[in-house]
Structure 1
């Protein structure tokens, strides 16, 4: 009888000291690379911004007088050297979009370059000769280049209420 009680006691000790292996789940989350921007004008984000190529498809389907609310990415080709009151974005190597800022409420840094995200409305307009000459003057063009402007030009335009300037 002593042996049976001893056997049961030893069995209980062994069972109670049993090593349990616990498994833990490790979740791996997708990490989106954060891009640092300097915000100018209204606070915006870069979510859902159209690429410049995709935006050009919209511009090609527009006519003078059409407006499309949009958010797009682009690369700065030129900034007003006078006070930063406009900029031109290179869209596809052949086309540029003239960007002005809503109600002249903000300006771009004169040395701004690189990638931007702009939010506002896209439209097409026919720009008169005197305005084209004014922009050429703001851009620091020579007198000969300014005098060579003799015809109005159909232009892709954008009125931005907010801009994100990518910082390096």
Structure 2
């Protein structure tokens, strides 16, 4: 099982490393993709694009060198959840002509519900890795694994996605 988790860890690292490099080399295009989603106010787009790209690069290097594995996987989980919400919001709005803006191994295809399913598979694989890493680190610990913390963060992310959706709707109504 340990070898399977290591393979998944390196595949996750390679996925995020490839997307990070693609976004760095095509920075303006990636910024335009993020802007096209119309999820964040335009003033936040440059900071979000730079921080999320640096987060992808950092977490992939962390996974490649096997340092701060759980933290890197948690960051990968949060990024995938955020990206998935942005895609889902636009699909619900009927905006199916947008590029996913993923780059790298994930490509730059037009968003569909298959994009959500693909991300869900990645999310489940990351959760499996987090669970495995937590169990390995907490063996013999009476407090168990960190699943509770992971669930809290996932819940906060879900709630944040909902708030952003509502906030964006209210802003559009005001304009």
| TM norm structure 2 | 0.24
Q: Which structure features the higher share of strand residues?
A: 1
Q: Whose radius of gyration is greater, 1 or 2?
A: 1
| TM norm structure 1 | 0.25
